[in-house]
Structure 1
Amino acid sequence: MEQLDLQKQNERLLKALEMNQLIAGELHLGTLLKQVMAVTQTIMDCESCSLFLYDEKSNELVFNACSGEKEAQLKEICRLPMGTGIVGWCAEHGETVRIADVYDDRRFVVEFDRQTKFTTRNMISAPLFVRSKLIGVCQVINHQHGDFSESDEKLLDSLVPMVAIAIDNARAHQRLLDRELFQHDLTLAKSIQDSFLPATLPEITGYHSAFYMHSAFDVGGDFYDTIQIPDKRIAYIIGDISGKGVSAAMIMSTVLSDLRMELSFGGSAGQILSRFNQTLCKKARNGMFVSLVLMILDPELHTIEVANAGHLPPVHIHHERIWQHNEASGPPAGIVSDISYDCDRLTLQAGEMVLLYTDGITEARNESDEMIGIGRLMNWLDDAPASPHACIEYLNDCISHYVGDGSQGDDITLLIMGRD
C-alpha cells in the first residue's frame, strides 16, 4: 500500500514537472490556460478543473477556462463579484479552501450547477498571486476517489504559483504584441496622412504662401491642402476632423479625396462646399464631422471666395488693419445634408495676407493653464512681419514663448497666403 502511494506521488511529481516545462514556454494565454486545465485535472485526479481570472476594473472573478464540456456555457454566465461564492471568498481572503460537501457550504453558488446540469460534490479553491497581486482563482472539482485530502490541498498550493507566473508572462507578452501592432498601425496611418498632405505649396506669380503643422499626437486630425482648379484658380483648405489618432488619419484621406473631386467639378466656394457636405453626410459614421475653411484665389482678378463649415474664421492681415472674416459661416460638414453654404467674395489688397488656422493655437495653454485665445492671437498679429514665411516663424516663436512648459492639447496648423 505504501509502495502504491509512493508510486502515485512520484507520478504526480513527474506531472508537475511536465506542467512546469509545458507552461514555461507558452506565451499564448488561451493555449496556456487549456494546457494548465488539462494537466492540473490529471495531477489532481479530479473530474474538472476551472480557472477564474480577476478583472480589476469591475472587481469581479471572471470564468475563463475549464477542462470538460461546460466551458462555453460557463463563459456566458459565470462572473462573480469579489467576495461572492467560494471563488470570491477565496480571492477576497487570499486563502486556499478545501470543502468536502459544497452543498453544506453557504458560500456555494448553486445556480451554476442548475444552469449547466453539472453536480459539484467537493472542491479545492486556491488563489493565484504574482508579487502580492491577485491574478485569479484555480478550482479542482470532484475528486475521482472520494474527498480531497490535505496532501491534495498542499499539492495544489505548490502548483498555482507557477500557473500564476505563466499567466502573468503571457499577459505581458500580449501587451507587447498589442503595442507593436498599435505602433505599426500608427506608422501606417502617419504614412497615409503624410502622403495626402502637400509637402510644398504652389508658386503663384504675385503671391506667396507658407504653412506650419504640428500634431499634439503621433497622428492628428488637422489637415490642409492647396489645389489647382482647372480654371486656373487656387483652392486653399484648412480643417479639423472630429477625433484624433489613427481613425482621424484614415478619415482625412477620404475627406481630401472627396474635396479634390468636388473642386474638379468647379463652381463657387459655397457650391463646392455644399456638394462636399452632401457626400460626407452619406459616408459619416458615429458622429464624425469636419470643420473646414475653403478659400479660392483668382490670381488674375486678385479676388478670393471664402466658405466656412463651422471652422475658425480666417484672419486678414494688412498694415492698415487686422480683422476676422466672419461672413459665410455654416455648420461643420457631415452633420446636415441639405444645407447650402454661402460664400463671400472680396478683393485682396497689395501687401494683404490671409491666415487660416486650427483651434490648436487658440487653445494652447501656458503653465498657469491660460489659453492663448483669439484676442491674444490678434494682438500678436498687430506686430507680425509682412511676408507669409516670416509671419509663420514669428507666430511659432510667440506660441513657444507663451506656452513654455504648458500643454498643447490639440494639433496646431497654420496656412498663410499673401499678395505681394
Structure 2
Amino acid sequence: MTRKTELTLVGLGFTAEESNKIVENSIIRFYPRNSVILSPPFTGESVFIIIEGGVQVLAINSENEEVTIAHYKNGEYFVGIEFSDIPNTTLVRAIEPSRLLELRMNWLKTLLPQASASVKQVAENMFKGLEKQGAKLSEAIQQKQAITDILRAISTSPSDLNLLLTAVVENAANLCDANDAGIMQVDNDHLVMVAKYGPSQLWPIGWKRKISRDWVTGRTVVDCKSIHILDLQAESSEFPEGAGYAKKYGHRTVYTVPLTREGVAIGAILIRRFKVAPVTEKQRDLLRTFSDQVTIAIENVRLFNEINEKSIQLKEQSGELAQWNDKLEFRVAEQVAQLEQFAKLEHELKVASDIQKSMLPRTIPEFEGYEIYANMIPAKTVGGDFYDFIPLSDDSLAIAIGDVADKGFPAALFMAMVRSFLRAETHHGVSPKKVLEGVNNHLLELNDKDIFVTILLGILNNKTKQFTYTRAGHELPVLVDFKGSVKQLHKGKGQALGVFDKLTLDEEHFNLSDKSMMVLYTDGITDAINGDNQMFGLQGLLHTVSDMPQQSVGCVCEELFRAVNKHQSHLPQYDDMTVIAVKAVGV
C-alpha cells in the first residue's frame, strides 16, 4: 500500500490496519486524462475512492450535449448514478491522470457485521454521503436541464415570449420547492403580472399595481435587488399590505429577484411558499440565472419587433433608392436582406454603422507640412454628417465636411449619395465653387424629399500655404495661431445644396502657416444643449481650442468632444458631431 493510499483511507476515518485490509480486498486502477471511468448502465456494485487526480460527472441530454454537473478530487468518493425520472444519462470522466481505489459494496457490507464501531461509523458516513451525493447530482441535473431548455427556447422562438415565460415560472416553482411563481414586468410606473404558475388566486395574469417600496416586488424593482422574506405574515410593520395578502391567501416565505437591463430593473421574478422555509443559496442562484434568461428573452422580443418595424420602413424606402449608384444600392439591398433574417437589433445597427463608416475615409492622409485629424460621432448609430479628403496632386489636397439636414437612416443614405457626387465632381484645377455647383445640379435632379445638405469644401496647397474654400451654408472655419489667438474670418455668401436652382456662393481663402491651426466642424458641436437648455455655442468651441494651441490635432478634436459631452451632462446627444483639425507643422 502506498503512502498516498494510506493517507487517503485514514483521511476517511479508517485505521492503518483497516486500510490495509481494504486495499487487500480492492482494486487500484489508473485512468489517463479524458478516459471514461463509468458510463451507463450503472450497477452500483462499487464505490470509487480517489487516491490522486480528479474526475468530473457529466450529464448528457437528448441532443447528446455534455454538461458538467460535479467535480471530485483527492480523498473524495463516488458511485455511478442513473436517474430514471430525468431525460439525461450521466458518465464519469478523468479530468487529469488519476489513480482510484475500487471498493466492492458487497464486500464492505459483508465486513460491517464483524467490524469495529469506528469502521461501521465510517461506512455509515460513506453510505449517507453517497445518498446526499445522488440527491445533489439529481438536483443539479434538473436545474441544468431547465436552464438548457429555456436557453434553447430563447434561441429557437425569440418572438414567443409567453411560451418562454410560462416555462420559466413552472421551472422556478418546481425546482425551488415553491407553491406559486410569477413574473412581473414594468409598464411605465406600474408592474404587470405577465406569467404565473401555481394554485394561488392572488394576482392573476394581467393584474397591475403601481410601483413602490410598500410591497415586496415593488421594492425589488425600486431598489433593483433581491428580497428574501422568511415569513411575510409576520412582516406587518414593514409590509402591512403584503402581510394582509399573505394571511388571506396563505403564503409565508417570499423571494423576489429583479430583471435588470443595463443596471435598471425592468421587472421581477417572485416565488411564494405556503410554509416557512428559507430559500437556499442554490435556489437563489438558479432564480438569478432565470432572471438573466428572462431579461434576454424580453430584450430579444423588443429587438425583434423593432427590427420588423425597421424592415417595413426600409422596404417602403427601397423604391426611392432606384437611381442611386450601383455600389450603394448593392450594399443597402444586402443589409435589408440581412435585417429581415436576424432577430437582434444590435446586429442590424452594427451593419448599418459599418456601411456608413465604409463611406468615410479609412485613413487620414499624410500631407507634407501639415498634421491632420478627423472624427465623426453620429447621434444615432448612423447619421448624416460626413467628411472626406481627396488628393488632387502632390501639393494639393481637397478637404470637405458636410451636414445633411436629417438624422438616422435617411440622412446616412443621402450623405452617401452626396459624397459620391462630391468625389465625381472634384478634380485638379476645378475650383471648390464649381465643384459644389455641380453637386447641387445632381441633387436637384434626384432629391424629391426636400432634404438638403450644408458643405464646406476647400483646397489646401502646401506650396503656397493657402486654403481656398467655398461654404455652402456651412459653419465658418476657425483659425487659431500658435499662441491660441482666434482669427475672425469673413462670412461670405453661401447657400445649402439641394434647394436652389441658382446658387449664390463665394470663394474665400486664407493662409495656414506658422504653426497655425484650422478647425472645421458641424453644428452638432455648437448646438449641443445642457439641462438648462443652454447651447455649447461657438464660444464654447473657441474657448476649448484656444486653450490647446500647442497640442496635437488629435488631442484638440477629442478634447472638444469631451467638452461637449461634459456640457450635455446626462442628456442624450441630439445631433451628429464632426470635427476636422489641420495644423501647419513645417517641413
TM-score band, normalised by the shorter chain?
0.5 to 0.7
Equivalent position of 1:373 in the other structure: 537
- Under a length normalisation based on structure 2, what TM-score does the superposition of the two structures give? 0.41
Q: Structure 1 pair 262/328, CA: closer, same or farther in 2 (3 Å)?
A: farther
Q: CA deviation at 1:172?
A: 8.9
- Under a length normalisation based on structure 1, what TM-score does the superposition of the two structures give? 0.56
Q: Structure 1 pair 185/250, CA: closer, same or farther in 2 (3 Å)?
A: farther
Instruction: Determine if contact 1:226/1:236 at 8 Å carries over to the other structure.
Output: yes
Query: Following superposition of structure 1 onto structure 2, how do residues 275-354 of structure 1 map, counting pairs within 5 Å?
Result: 275-318=438-481, 319=483, 321-354=485-518
Instruction: Give the letter for the 2:418 counterpart.
Output: V
Please give the alpha-carbon distance, in whole angstroms, between the structure 2 residues aligned to 1:265 and 1:287: 31
Q: Which moved more, 1:330-339 or 1:374-383?
A: 374-383
Please give the alpha-carbon distance, in whole angstroms, between the structure 2 residues aligned to 1:397 and 1:225: 23
SS for the counterpart of 1:229 is strand
Equivalent position of 1:409 in the other structure: 574
Q: CA deviation at 1:346?
A: 2.1
Task: List per-residue Cα deviations over 1:186-228 (Å, max 9, x = no partner).
Answer: 4443222111101321111110011122111011111111111
Q: Structure 1 pair 326/193, CA: closer, same or farther in 2 (3 Å)?
A: farther
Equivalent position of 2:97 in the other structure: none
Instruction: Determine if contact 2:484/2:547 at 8 Å carries over to the other structure.
Output: no
Equivalent position of 2:401 in the other structure: 238
Please give the alpha-carbon distance, in whole angstroms, between the structure 2 residues aligned to 1:404 and 1:325: 31
Task: List per-residue Cα deviations over 1:295-333 (Å, max 9, x = no partner).
Answer: 210111111111101111111111263134343331111
Instruction: Determine if contact 1:238/1:293 at 8 Å carries over to the other structure.
Output: yes
Equivalent position of 1:383 in the other structure: 547
Instruction: Determine if contact 2:403/2:455 at 8 Å carries over to the other structure.
Output: yes
Query: Following superposition of structure 1 onto structure 2, how do residues 15-414 of structure 1 map, counting pairs within 5 Å?
Result: 131=206, 175=305, 178=308, 181=311, 183=345, 186-230=349-393, 232-264=395-427, 266-318=429-481, 319=483, 321-386=485-550, 387-414=552-579
SS for the counterpart of 1:260 is helix
Please give the alpha-carbon distance, in whole angstroms, between the structure 2 residues aligned to 1:193 and 1:178: 21
Could you tell me which runs of 5 or more consecutive residues in structure 2 were left unpaired when the two chains were aligned.
1-156, 161-204, 209-300, 312-338, 340-344
In terms of Rg, which structure is larger? 2
Instruction: Give the letter for the 2:444 counterpart.
Output: C
Q: Which moved more, 1:337-346 or 1:254-263?
A: 337-346
Equivalent position of 2:172 in the other structure: none
Task: List per-residue Cα deviations over 1:61-119 (Å, max 9, x = no partner).
Answer: xxxxxxxxxxxxxxxxxxxxxxxxxxxxxxxxxxxxxxxxxxxxxxxxxxxxxxxxxxx
Instruction: Give the letter for the 2:562 counterpart.
Output: D
Equivalent position of 2:583 in the other structure: 418
SS for the counterpart of 1:218 is coil
Task: List per-residue Cα deviations over 1:157-210 (Å, max 9, x = no partner).
Answer: xxxxxxxxxxxxxx9998366157464664443222111101321111110011
Superposition RMSD on alpha carbons, in Å? 2.8
Instruction: Determine if contact 1:297/1:303 at 8 Å carries over to the other structure.
Output: yes
Instruction: Give the letter for the 1:253 counterpart.
Output: A
Q: Structure 1 pair 232/254, CA: closer, same or farther in 2 (3 Å)?
A: farther
Q: Structure 1 pair 392/277, CA: closer, same or farther in 2 (3 Å)?
A: same
Q: CA deviation at 1:353?
A: 0.9
SS for the counterpart of 1:355 is strand
Could you tell me which runs of 5 or more consecutive residues in structure 1 were left unpaired when the two chains were aligned.
1-24, 29-129, 134-170
Q: CA deviation at 1:292?
A: 1.0
Instruction: Determine if contact 2:528/2:573 at 8 Å carries over to the other structure.
Output: yes
Q: CA deviation at 1:350?
A: 1.1
Instruction: Determine if contact 2:484/2:549 at 8 Å carries over to the other structure.
Output: no
Instruction: Determine if contact 1:207/1:418 at 8 Å carries over to the other structure.
Output: yes
Please give the alpha-carbon distance, in whole angstroms, between the structure 1 residues aligned to 2:438 and 2:534: 39
SS for the counterpart of 1:296 is strand
Higher relative contact order (CA 8 A, sep 6+): 1
Q: Structure 1 pair 233/244, CA: closer, same or farther in 2 (3 Å)?
A: same
Q: Which moved more, 1:410-419 or 1:371-380?
A: 371-380
Q: Structure 1 pair 261/371, CA: closer, same or farther in 2 (3 Å)?
A: same
Q: Structure 1 pair 372/176, CA: closer, same or farther in 2 (3 Å)?
A: closer
Instruction: Determine if contact 2:370/2:583 at 8 Å carries over to the other structure.
Output: yes
Please give the alpha-carbon distance, in whole angstroms, between the structure 2 residues aligned to 1:231 and 1:172: 53
Instruction: Give the letter for the 2:308 counterpart.
Output: D
Instruction: Give the letter for the 2:305 counterpart.
Output: R
Instruction: Give the letter for the 1:221 counterpart.
Output: G
SS for the counterpart of 2:502 is coil
Please give the alpha-carbon distance, in whole angstroms, between the structure 2 residues aligned to 1:345 and 1:305: 4
Q: Structure 1 pair 274/131, CA: closer, same or farther in 2 (3 Å)?
A: same
Please give the alpha-carbon distance, in whole angstroms, between the structure 2 residues aligned to 1:260 and 1:325: 27
SS for the counterpart of 2:426 is helix
Instruction: Determine if contact 1:278/1:338 at 8 Å carries over to the other structure.
Output: no
Q: Structure 1 pair 317/174, CA: closer, same or farther in 2 (3 Å)?
A: closer
SS for the counterpart of 1:356 is strand
